[in-house]
Amino acid sequence: MKLNALWLVLACSCLASCKMTAGNIDFGALSKVGSSLTQLGSIDEPQELALGDDFAAMLLGASKLHPNKALQSYVNNVGRYLASYSDRPDLPWTFGVLDTPDLNAFAIPGGYVFVTSGLLANLNSEAELAVVLAHEIAHVTERHQLAQLERDNSMNFLSSLATTVVSYQEQRKPGSGLNNYRNRQIADSVLNAGQQLFTKGLSRDDELAADTLAVRLAARAGYDPYALAAVMQKLDSMQGNSSAISLLLATHPAPADRLTNIEQQLQKLEKQHPDTRSVRLDLPERYQAALRRK
Partner 1 sequence: MQVHFLAWLLLLSPVALADTNATVKQATPLLAQPVADAAELARLAAEQPVAVLERQGGWYQVAVPEQATGWLRLFQLQFVKERYQPDNVPLRELTGLMRGSHQQVTSSTGVRGLDKVAITNAKPDFEQLVLLQSFQQPAEQAQTFAKAANLKTDSSIKVQERKK
Contact positions with partner 1 (CB under 8 A) in 12-51: none
Give the span between the Cα atoms of 75 and 290, in whole angstroms.
Answer: 9
Stretch that binds partner 1, among 4-12, 34-42, 148-156, 273-281 (CB under 8 A): 273-281
Work out how close the CB of 54 gets to partner 1 at its nearest, in angstroms, rounded to a whole number: 6
Rounded CA-CA distance 210/137 in Å is 8
Contact string 52-91 vs partner 1 (x = CB under 8 A):
-xx-xxxxxxxxxxxxxx-xxx--xxx-xx--xxxx-x--
Map the footprint of partner 1 across residues 172-231, applying CB under 8 A. 172, 187, 190-191, 194-195, 198-199, 213, 216-217, 219-224, 226, 229-230
Give min distance, CB of 22 to partner 1, in A: 36
Amino acid 122 reads: N
| 254 scored as a contact of partner 1 (CB under 8 A) | no
Neighbours of 60 (CB within 10 A): 14
Name which of 12, 44, 46, 5 is nearest 31 in CA terms.
12
Residue closer to partner 1 by CB (options 27, 93) is: 93
Distance in Å, CB of 7 to partner 1, minimum: 29
Considering only residues 151 through 170, tell me which ones interact with partner 1, judged by CB under 8 A: none
Segment 100-139, which members bind partner 1 (CB under 8 A)? 100-104, 112, 116-118, 120-122, 126
Residues β-bridged to residue 108: 112
Closer CB to partner 1, 29 or 70, in the complex: 70
Q: How far is the CB of 255 from partner 1 (least distance, A)?
A: 11
Q: Please report how close the Cβ of residue 177 comes to partner 1 at its closest, in angstroms.
A: 18
How many beta carbons lie within 10 A of that of residue 224, not counting itself? 22
Using only C-alpha atoms, the chain has a radius of gyration, in whole angstroms, of 21
Where helices occur in the chain by DSSP H, the ranges are 2-14, 27-40, 45-62, 69-83, 117-120, 126-141, 144-152, 157-172, 180-200, 204-221, 226-238, 246-250, 255-272, 284-292
